[in-house]
Structure formats: structure tokens, C-alpha cells
Amino acid sequence: MHNLHNPAALGPEGRPLDWHGVRVIYRVLVEEPTEARVTELAGGSTADAAWFTPEQLGGLRVTEVVALATGRRVG
């Protein structure tokens, strides 16, 4: 579990918002992964969704959540 607090965040209306978030990361095993199915519109944050082994993450840009979950650096 990880929490985050950004008192200087802007809400969707462009007004200041004292943002609090809690992230829960679960460890799972997918024995036979299928092609990732993205349900949001193209161009969204999951447009390049796919399954990756920890070893495959080395050359990819990852989000802060992935870095926290895997002990890797963001970038």
C-alpha cells in the first residue's frame, strides 16, 4: 500500500484541490496471459497496455506506481 498527498493539485475544473490518494498493489500470477484488453478510448493512459515480466520492464518507461511495486526507478 502507498499513499500520496498533493495539497497543490488542480481539480478537473481547474480549481485548487487538496488531493489525497491511496494505492493498493496486489501480487498476482497469470499462468496463461492473453492479449491485454483496453476498455478506455484510444490515446488514454492505458493505450499501450500489455503483460510484462519483471525482466522485460528494464527498457520501458514506467509510472511511479510500477516503480514502487517493482523497486525500479521511474524513467
Q: pTM surpassing 0.75?
A: no
- Predicted local confidence at residue 73, as pLDDT: 67
Q: What is the mean pLDDT of residues 27-48?
A: 74
Extents of the domains making up the chain? 2-70
DSSP the chain: -EEEEEEEEE-TTSSEEEEEEEE-------SS-------SPTTSTTTT-----GGGGGGS---HHHHHHHTPPP-
- Predicted pLDDT of residue 75: 52
Residue-level pLDDT at 67? 84
Tens-place pLDDT, residues 14-24: 999 998 988 88
Rounded (5°) CA angle 62-63-66: 80
Q: Quick one: pLDDT at residue 34?
A: 85
